[in-house]
Copies of this chain bind each other. A is one copy, B any other.
């Protein structure tokens, strides 16, 4: 007999009765607020075409490395889960892949994936039995049926999820046509892009050469000269802003910044374009480009997001066969205090610049990030990220950051996901954990109840709107010719 699926209405609140009572009251005030998602990786064509998704496996399993990495770690082959390789989709029957997934759901016990899945299955699809081997087909058929209906089209779900703002991520190579199509469609959902130029900044990126070529085509600039290269960035930033973007995003291996003279930078750029660059050159160029991006942000007002610290594609064999973003990125120790100094020496006291810092190295929360954000006007802290976007991870973030940086140097939650259906689940987890944290402060006499209520709103909607400048007068989006 299948097990019932039932979401505990008090889930994630602290168990202690008085604290839980306070948390519940705080949560009641913010549970219904719109979802603001200023950083994520959903596909904008979902919203421009508004086409139905095909099936459970292709929507929920094949693209979600949070899910398949866990099964892979226990010896399940990616082919058996319909994860595409460089050769394309494996021949596996999607229903068989779904069954394999269903047999292994016990692996997720105690993980945020388990909570997200329960929320998606229970709240989005209305299941009242849990997914396991015995219910795999029932799930597969029901999900597919629902996905074929109007109520499960992307825009319908966007509205149902009460999403007030959704940012996607595109590169300098992208023509932003889905965003223009969304805008021109008359649909009122606010879906905007984010400028993520890694592929034309990181010469160690396997797509660098190709991306540079498109970068040149799209901008008409001589991107192989230093001045032309910078001008091309300016043009594309303007395109992105015109399409509604308020932020840029930079996913570098480290947080290193540099502050070279124009001559030095130009010389380095020439080396990068030659065949003679070393890993040190590549690192220095990325470092210099963070500072160049900061300079442009001072000009155009775009918020910078810096996401360092991931060792990409750690599994050499898997990268060979399956390419990037297959669950094989591993966090590394990351320094900020030395790394950011060159940039901060140039722009640290600017109130025109806003930089949001993320980390995969929790040891820097209390030691480096909170002291930096609690001092520099231009710095704010992004939420606990990726592997740390979890109940315990969020708690550690608040516990280790708040006492030095306060709440007001943080920027609310972001979901950072390509798993669209999990967005409400992820924001709900964050709201619950934040309310639980505030409730503990109230229960311990460290915060008054009315302060906690104000903060619950700020952590959910207020700070994120302000940090990402969502309510500032933006240039009207135009359907720019790419």
Which A positions have Cβ atoms within 8 angstroms of B?
3, 7-8, 10-16, 18-19, 69-70, 72-75, 106-112, 114-115, 311, 314-318, 327-333, 335, 337-338, 341, 344-345, 348-349, 351, 360-363, 366-368, 370-377, 379, 387-388, 390-393, 399-400, 402-409, 440-441, 443-448, 450-451, 454-455
Contacts and interface: CB of A to CB of B under 8 A. Distances in A.
B391 A72 contact: no
A15 B439 CA distance: 10
B440 A15 contact: yes
Of listed A3, A111, A399, residue having the most chain B CB within 10 A: A111
A444 B433 CA distance: 11
Contacts of A404: 111, 387, 390
A237 to B, nearest CB: 24
Nearest to A19: B15
Contacts of A75: 351, 377
B375 A315 contact: yes
Contact of A345 (B317, B329, B362, B388): B317
B349 A317 contact: yes
A400 to B, nearest CB: 7
A418 B396 CA distance: 30
A367 B314 CA distance: 14
B361 A387 contact: no
Given A375-B330, A455-B109, A366 B337 contact: no
A109 B442 CA distance: 11
Given A16-B15, A362-B366, A315 B441 contact: no
Contacts of A445: 7-8, 10-13
B327 A375 contact: yes
Best-buried of A8, A331, A338 by chain B (most CB within 10 Å) = A331
18 contacts: A10-B445, A11-B444, A11-B446, A12-B445, A12-B446, A13-B445, A70-B374, A106-B451, A114-B446, A314-B341, A317-B349, A329-B371, A333-B335, A366-B387, A370-B387, A387-B403, A390-B403, A392-B402
Contact of A367 (B69, B70, B360): B360
Given A3-B448, A115-B446, 11 more contacts: A14-B444, A15-B16, A69-B374, A73-B376, A73-B405, A74-B377, A74-B409, A75-B351, A107-B406, A109-B451, A329-B371
Contacts of A402: 110-111, 392
Nearest to A361: B367
A407 B344 CA distance: 41
Given A110-B407, A330-B372, A377-B75, A348 B311 contact: no
A192 B367 CA distance: 31
A361 to B, nearest CB: 6
A446 B15 CA distance: 12
Contact of A406 (B109, B345, B362): B109
A263 to B, nearest CB: 22
Contact of A375 (B69, B316, B373): B69
A116 to B, nearest CB: 12
